[in-house]
Structure 1
Amino acid sequence: MEKYSSDSLDKLSGILDYREADLLADFATRSTDGIRRFSEKGLASDYRQNFAVDVDRILHSMAYTRYIDKTQVFYLIKNDHITHRMLHVQLVSRVARTIGRFLGLNEDLIEAIAIGHDIGHPPFGHDGERILSKICTSFNIGGFHHNVQSVHFLEKVERKGRGWNLCLQTLDGILCHDGEIHNLRVEPISGKKFSDLESEIEHKKSGDPVSLIPMSLEGCVVRFSDTVSYIGRDIEDAIRLGLINRSELPQESMSRLGDTNGKIVYSLVTDILLNSSGKPYVSFSPEVSDALKLLKKFNYDRIYMNPVVKKELSKIERLFKEMFSRFLDDITEKRISSPVFKNFIDGMSDDYMAGHCPAEVIRDFIAGMTDQYFLRQSPEALRPRPISL
């Protein structure tokens, strides 16, 4: 294998920086602008640019690996062709990088935010999130929010509590990605610091009203792309499972966006490009925004709240509560044979253990579980049954 001198690697890195200066739009984030909590000796001689390093670190994280068995929308349904969390984040990444390329933005930063944005999702998707949030609130450790947990995992849980020391711009984009909130336009708030990130996290956990706006256009693009990626895909999954028929889709939305996932994605991406190119914000047109808002309501009423996919939810909630209490008791009684010790606490850094009360440790352990691992920790007689459609 050919070896390169440090001078030649520095030159390669410099070429990329100069290329960015020539190619990126005025509103784009330069890789040289990346801010980390602390400097690393190894990065000083690394030829990769800042946000490319973040992409690599997220890709190689244990939490990213667990995307493979985490629910997107439909759980307990045996179908190899419905979307799971792993595919969703890849779809978000692809859509966002396509938009970013046309807008002249930093595609490495976009990719880092996109692939990391759902790292903190617990098992069983948004239903699991709501259940875990109620439990966390009852233990006075703040509400549970997957975007907050994503940042927490990458900063304080991964690598046995050492975290990945990712750039502020990456973490901020992950925190502010919320695609469930409908926006016509989002304009970034530049100049944030790590103290702002921490303040926003605390307000969110406390339930205070807080508007999470990304500090970068790249973060805004990922936020819009989250919606673009799931809205039509969830419809196709629901049709495949027989929950809805294509003919039931709202005509007002279909006439503007199309009636298949491919058409919907293309329409939304095209509209974003036409209304955001050369602008310091990311935006839909009012007409497309209204059509999308109507389609979101349809998805919520007919898919996400469909009683057919909720029929085992009470059992899942019971298991969450039972598991949280059981593992909390294991910590209190120091039962080192418990999975919470063997599969989570053992090897954790002193800083992590000193900075987290037992309930927070259990929160982090359960939030990191895949659907199947969660079920394996539960008594077989109490497990929910597969849903047949």
Structure 2
Amino acid sequence: ARACWLNEDLTEAISLGHDLGHTPFGHAGEQTLDRLLPGGFRHNEQSLRVVDKLEGDGGLNLTVETRNGIYCHTGDKQPTTLEGIVVRLADRIAYINHDIDDALRAGVLKKDDLPQFALQVLGQSHAERIHNMVLDVVEQSRGRGVITVSEHVQEATDELRDFLFDRVYIGSEAKRDEGKAERMVATLFAHYRRFPEQMPSLYQAVWRQEGLEIAVADYIAGMTDRFIIHQFEQMFIPQGWTL
């Protein structure tokens, strides 16, 4: 944002808020809540809900531009500000490269598996790819009143993203625990619908004002992986007995 002479405060505010609606277990958790919640569930909509209603005792009173950037960081709708577009592009650069790094460390991928055209254009290492992708955005955008990338970098980025969907997000052993994650989310959703008084007071207030399913979805969506596993163990896994 600074290199393109944009509003750094707006860019930072969008960046800090855009992923607040992510569920535990990522896409698996989001899919489960989308199936269980009447009206569906989308993490970008939930991020906006967090800053509009759940945080700060009734919302944070953010600007229209910040709220738009949070909502439009993913999906079909494009942000209305250049700062929002910067966050949308930066998010894509970050998750593609970090997911590659995670998959390599976990042994899901080997470096030789990565598409060579993309590596030739973007770089062989994690740091090189991020540097070249960010530099391309700056060079293509600065002083032009738009935020964009070059055609060859876009093609290479799309190739990497498609590769990750085929080999990591959809077709790898990394998905072997997805069913477990979905069942855990669904089980806790059913549990808190039955015993809503066990939720914190914030979500009990949402229950009274907006309905039980919305309150339960808000509570579960705000959990981390570690916290939801702990809650599940506390409720459904017996402790070992010492005789």
Fold in common (TM above 0.5)? yes
**Aligned equivalent of 2:203:** 345
**Aligned equivalent of 2:170:** 305
Point out 4+ residue stretches in structure 1 off by more than 3 angstroms: 342-346, 352-355, 379-383
159 and 353 in structure 1: CA distance in 2 versus 1, 3 angstrom threshold? farther
249 and 382 in structure 1: CA distance in 2 versus 1, 3 angstrom threshold? farther
- 1:102 pairs with 2:3: yes
**Aligned equivalent of 2:228:** 374
Asked whether the 8 Å contact 2:118–2:157 carries over to 1, the reply is yes
Unaligned runs of 5+ in 2: 238-243
Tell me the distance in 2 between the aligned counterparts of 1:289 and 1:268.
Answer: 9
Q: 5 Å matches for 1:1-389?
A: 100-136=1-37, 140=38, 142-160=39-57, 162-178=58-74, 211-331=76-196, 336=197, 338=198, 340=199, 342=200, 344-345=202-203, 348=205, 352-353=206-207, 355-379=209-233
Give the TM-score normalised by the residue count of structure 2.
0.91
What is the Cα-based RMSD across aligned positions, in Å? 1.9
Give the TM-score normalised by the residue count of structure 1.
0.58
Matched residue SS, 2:152: helix
Tell me the distance in 1 between the aligned counterparts of 2:233 and 2:95.
Answer: 33
381 and 326 in structure 1: CA distance in 2 versus 1, 3 angstrom threshold? closer
* Structure index of larger Rg: 1
Matched residue SS, 2:62: coil
Asked whether the 8 Å contact 2:108–2:174 carries over to 1, the reply is no
Tell me the distance in 2 between the aligned counterparts of 1:354 and 1:302.
Answer: 44
Structure with bigger helix share is: 2
Matched to 2:43, the amino acid is H
Identity %: 35
Asked whether the 8 Å contact 1:220–1:282 carries over to 2, the reply is yes
Asked whether the 8 Å contact 1:232–1:260 carries over to 2, the reply is no
| CA deviations over 1:34-89 (Å, ceiling 9, x no partner) | xxxxxxxxxxxxxxxxxxxxxxxxxxxxxxxxxxxxxxxxxxxxxxxxxxxxxxxx
Tell me the distance in 1 between the aligned counterparts of 2:157 and 2:193.
Answer: 43
Unaligned runs of 5+ in 1: 1-99, 182-210, 384-389
Query: How many pairs align?
Result: 237
